[in-house]
């Protein structure tokens, strides 16, 4: 292209908002599955409109617009190559491309913190049941209601009585969740070395509580109406403080980022002579 207009500008794909409209429509269509069918209908209409408009921008010919070029006097100067030798880093050498964190807590520390935190949370829940309902079984059955529809629809008197199935389900849910969260603490807290107790004992429980509070009204409205959120927050903070303390007090171990891949993978090989590499 040698005409004057092409020399002063360049053809670029024209901006379009149709992909954004299609993405918003797809989001509304999926959100309607847990809210209302009208939301899905509106989302589907927006999605189809966005897809049609998007394809019309590129088919049968892509739509372009001319973007003016910077005048030659204002352009950056040409890059002048300066030949120099570069020192090549040896893979696996100490401090080579260090990744944070350099030290991590063992998985056992996260599991231990999760289990001890589960005991503290269970004690706080039992205290809540004794204070509010004079029954230690109320919070246990209420937790079991997250997995048992019959417990979610039960009245208060039924939740205050002992239920063997409810105790088993609640224990399984509580221990499994606590173990997973404890392992997550072991992975995340090394990335927050300055204030691990603040992050694990306050920020993480409040974030988790906010997510549960926002989603439970849609997922299980019956259970949402019976939760005492002040006690829920207190139990989450109690778990976070204990689990965070146990994990942060464990002895860290260095990561394997500077160890050769063969050694990390546990390959049984003979001694590796790295003298040729050094001579190079």
Looking at per-residue pLDDT, the higher value among 193 and 276 belongs to 193
Rounded distance, CA 69 to CA 72, Å?
9
Instruction: Note the pLDDT of residue 26.
Output: 93
Rounded distance, CA 180 to CA 186, Å?
10
Are 185 and 242 spatial neighbours (Cβ–Cβ below 8 Å)? no
**For residue 14, which of 47, 58, 70 has the smallest C-alpha distance?**
58
The number of residues making up the chain comes to: 280
pLDDT of 1 higher than 50: no
pLDDT of 48 higher than 90: yes
Question: Alpha carbon 190 to chain centroid distance?
Answer: 16
Distances (CA, A) of 170 to 142, 175, 191: 8, 8, 32
**For residue 121, which of 108, 134, 139 has the smallest C-alpha distance?**
139
pLDDT of 272 higher than 60: no
Taking residues 176-204, what's their average pLDDT? 81
Rounded to the nearest integer, the mean pLDDT of the chain is: 80
Taking residues 72-82, what's their average pLDDT? 79
Instruction: Note the pLDDT of residue 277.
Output: 44
* 0.95 exceeded by pTM: no
Instruction: Note the pLDDT of residue 22.
Output: 92
Q: What is the pLDDT of residues 206-264, one digit of tens each?
A: 888 888 887 777 766 767 777 888 888 888 888 888 888 888 888 888 777 766 666 66
Looking at per-residue pLDDT, the higher value among 33 and 221 belongs to 33
| Domains with residue ranges and CATH for the chain | 4-71 (1.10.287), 103-254 (no CATH)
Rounded distance, CA 111 to CA 243, Å?
9
Which tokens in the block code for residue 169? Answer: 């389900």
Taking residues 66-86, what's their average pLDDT? 78
Of 11-15, 100-104, 185-189, 276-280, the one with minimum mean pLDDT is 276-280
Q: What is the pLDDT of residues 52-69, one digit of tens each?
A: 988 888 888 888 888 888
pLDDT of 17 higher than 60: yes
Instruction: Note the pLDDT of residue 25.
Output: 92
Estimate the crossing angle of helix 18-31 against helix 37-58, to 10 degrees: 160
Instruction: Note the pLDDT of residue 27.
Output: 92
- 3-class SS string, the chain: CCCHHHHHEEEEECCCCHHHHHHHHHHHHHHCCCCCHHHHHHHHHHHHHHHHHHHHHHCCCCCEEEEECCCHHHCCCCCCCCCCCCCCCCCCCCCCCCCCCCEECCHHHHHHHHHHHHHHHHHHHHHHHHHHHCCCHHHHHHHHCCCCHHHHCCCHHHHCCCCHHHHHHHHHHHHHHHHHHHHHHHHHHHHCCCCHHHHHHHHHHHHHHHHHHHHHHHHCHHHHHHCCHHHHHHHHHHHHHHHHHHHHHCCCEECCCCCCHHHHCCCCCCCCCCHHHHHC
């Amino acid at each position: 292209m040698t005409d004057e207009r092409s020399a002063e500008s360049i053809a670029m794909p024209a901006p379009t908002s149709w992909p954004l409209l299609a993405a918003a429509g797809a989001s509304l269509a999926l959100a309607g599955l847990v809210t209302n069918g009208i939301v899905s209908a509106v989302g589907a209409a927006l999605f189809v409109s966005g897809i049609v408009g998007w394809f019309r921008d590129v088919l049968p010919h892509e739509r372009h617009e001319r973007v003016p070029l910077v005048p030659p006097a204002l352009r950056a100067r040409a890059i002048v190559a300066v030949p120099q030798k570069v020192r090549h880093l040896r893979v696996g050498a100490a401090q080579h491309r260090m990744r944070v964190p350099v030290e991590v807590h063992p998985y056992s520390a996260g599991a231990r913190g999760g289990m001890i935190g589960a005991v503290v949370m269970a004690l706080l829940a039992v205290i809540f049941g004794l204070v509010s309902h004079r029954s230690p079984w109320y919070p246990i059955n209420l937790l079991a209601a997250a997995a048992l529809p019959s417990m979610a629809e039960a009245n208060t008197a039924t939740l205050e009585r002992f239920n063997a199935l409810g105790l088993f389900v609640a224990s399984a849910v509580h221990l499994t969740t606590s173990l997973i969260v404890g392992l997550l603490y072991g992975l995340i807290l090394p990335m927050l070395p300055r204030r691990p107790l603040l992050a694990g004992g306050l920020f993480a429980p409040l974030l988790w509580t906010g997510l549960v509070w926002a989603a439970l009204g849609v997922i299980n409205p019956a259970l949402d109406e019976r939760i005492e959120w002040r006690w829920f927050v207190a139990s989450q903070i109690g778990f976070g403080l204990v689990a965070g303390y146990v994990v942060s007090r464990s002895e860290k171990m260095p990561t394997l980022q500077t160890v050769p891949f063969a050694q990390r993978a546990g390959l049984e090989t003979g001694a590796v002579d790295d003298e040729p590499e050094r001579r190079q």
